[in-house]
Amino acid sequence: MDMILESRSQAALSSVGASGYLTIDLGALRRNYKLLSEMVAPAQTAAVVKANAYGLGADQVAQALYSQGCRHFFVAQFVEAVHLRPNLPPEAQLFVLNGLQPGSEIRCAESRIIPVLNSLEQLQQWAGAARRLKRTLPAGLQVGTGMSRRGGAPQKRGGGSGALWGVRGGGSLVIMGQTGPPGGGWRGTKGGHAAEENRRADEGRGVAE
């Protein structure tokens, strides 16, 4: 892969007293995205641009990736999405990984921002917003695959599962989970996490049709 970060020599510094100068090579970023997209095709490659694209500049990075064909972008917080949304074309789908605080659903929908719903309460609130607006709303849905992340262990979900999938009015769903543990939590295997995520995807078929 191309190197994205390039350091310039001290002689090229334009600011007196600066300890370094960093150039973000957006051309390298575009080439790397193209390479990754070709590796996973026909699946689509999304971009995580939270925390100001990890310090690289979310506006510039997202626009560069959009020009290369990226259409799905993820940030952590709603406020990040509000900032980034005007800098992306309407066709770009912008997701908020941490879901929504109560009361922000209507603004989120009107801003064409898609929440990743992390709980039954968030799903119900989003479905309520869809009913108030009298239209379907897209959503991401994070499902627990047994890791110590949002979402309970698989064996603890049974009672709420029917209600979760029975809430309608939210529009199309992107179902998300994580297949490898960062440490701690449920001690299932990576294959077990993947199998659980596949089961949840099967359960979700038809929910948003």
Each residue's pLDDT tens digit, 21-54 = 788 999 999 999 999 999 999 999 999 999 999 9
Percentage of the chain beyond pLDDT 70 is: 61
Q: Which two tokens stand for residue 66?
A: 């959009």
Predicted confidence at residue 47, as pLDDT, reads 97
Distance (Å, whole) CA 71 – CA 94: 8
So where are the chain's domains?
A: 24-97, 99-145
Burial 103-126 (b: 16+ CB within 10 A, else e): ebbeebbeeebbbbbbeeebbbbb
Dihedral of the alpha carbons of 147, 149, 153, 157, in degrees to the nearest 10: -150
Q: What is the mean pLDDT of residues 54-69?
A: 96
**pLDDT higher at 208 or 38:** 38
